[in-house]
Amino acid sequence: MLHCGMREQDARTLRRQSAVLCKQLVVDELLIQCLQADDILTESMAENIMAEQTSQKRSWRLQLLLPKRGPKAFSSFCSALRATDQQHLCDLLTQTSETNGNGTHVETCVDSSVPLPTQEAVPAKRARAHESLEVSLDADSPINTPVLPCTPDFYLSHFQQSYKMASSPRGFALVISNVTFNPCAAPELDPRKGGEVDDEVLRKVFTELEYSVTVQRDLTAQGIKTCIQNFSGRPEHRSVDSCVVCLLSHGVEGAVYGIDGELLQLDWVFEAFDNAHCPLLQNKPKMFFIQACRGDEMDCGVEQIDGPSRTSSPSCEQRDAGREGEKDAEGRQRGDICRPRIKLPQRSDMICGFASLKGTAAMRNTKRGSWFIQELNTALRLHARDRHLADILVQVNRRIKDREGYAPGTCPPPLQGNV
């Protein structure tokens, strides 16, 4: 006889452990993605679960659905727990299921096609705080699941519309992270607690994306400038297909601070990689990620009174480039117009992700790192295989908006601005 639901033994296990799951289970986007990949959850089910405001409510809704999703739902759920560093819950469920089944063998839940995440001294059970706020913050910890690979079919159907990304390494990545500032030269700049988490998260994710990553910490403004000059001038850029630059520091609109309290203009940073100053990266994607405040205002939001539940606008800004100047007119007078040329705008093939809007502060968890870097890490690991970076940044923007659903005028500790 065919059963359309979960095995009674497994369903009974979920019912027995429902209280523990509601208290300890972290239902985040990664776990939901794993269940969707196994066809356990439909897209509408996933959206309904993630629409719940707390992890406990998401857990409860998921537990109501799982027993109805077929005989493989239990093993897929256990596999998702492993992939999201919740091994202790997987062990709890499988041990209980084995006991309930009177020694009946329980199907193992490891998908051999997906490598398990590496664990670096991870405790057997995640530390949980009693306050619901802390539970929510713990759910937002950086994920360690391996970067999901692109399928051959997807690559073959999209590579002609994409940048060439075949070099090994894919490119060079530079991460500059200012955490501790000079108390004498910059007494107004507090240490960026949690910033050390960010640069390690970026190092790991870009290494897994096959970049050669260099991390520099605690540089003066001149030190940042020298480091970027040396990096943009590397002759090895000729043989790679892309470039990544990450700047993490305190900042203001259009500039970031060195540890000496001096400002470095971001416009100069972009100029160092433009087509005139960095010809070895012409026609290659150059990606910038800026984790810094762009002002000191707090965006605590307003109550929505009309419109869809989620805006479709990515709030992007564009600026025209590539104007012809006086030198071009002089060239035409010399007769160069007869020689066919390919002209590039001064700046092209660049994209930049900012942690905050103009004039506002960027948020950072003092234990788990910056909101922007956390969400960027998650999105890159899950979607670098099949989404344009611009779409990934839109998703990051939306996820950060979801985090800002706290009461207007309040900011949940232990968060602080990057200003």
383 is catalytic: no
Measure the N-to-C terminal CA separation of the chain; round to a whole number of Å: 64
Q: Which domains does the chain have, with CATH numbers?
A: 8-94 (1.10.533.10), 163-298+346-402 (3.40.50.1460)
Q: Are strands 242-248 and 255-257 parallel, antiparallel or unpaired?
A: unpaired
What distance in Å separates the CA atoms of residue 78 and residue 88, rounded to the nearest whole number?
Answer: 10
What is the amino acid identity at position 267?
Answer: D
pLDDT along the chain (419 residues), means of 10: 67 87 85 90 87 80 88 91 88 75 40 33 31 31 73 82 90 96 92 91 94 96 97 96 96 94 96 94 96 70 45 34 41 49 75 86 82 92 91 88 49 43
User: Residues 57, 73: contact at Cβ < 8 Å?
Assistant: no
Task: Count other C-beta atoms under 10 Å from residue 95's C-beta.
Answer: 12
250 is catalytic: yes
Q: What is the pLDDT of residue 358?
A: 80
Q: What is the pLDDT of residue 98?
A: 62
Q: CB-side exposure of 314: number of CA atoms within 13 Å?
A: 13
Query: What residues form DSSP beta bridges with 174?
Result: 214, 245
pTM of the model: 0.57
Q: What is the pLDDT of residue 60?
A: 85
Q: Catalytic pick from 90, 250, 383, 388? A: 250
Q: What is the pLDDT of residue 343?
A: 62
User: Residues 34, 79: contact at Cβ < 8 Å?
Assistant: yes
Q: Catalytic pick from 34, 109, 278, 293? A: 293
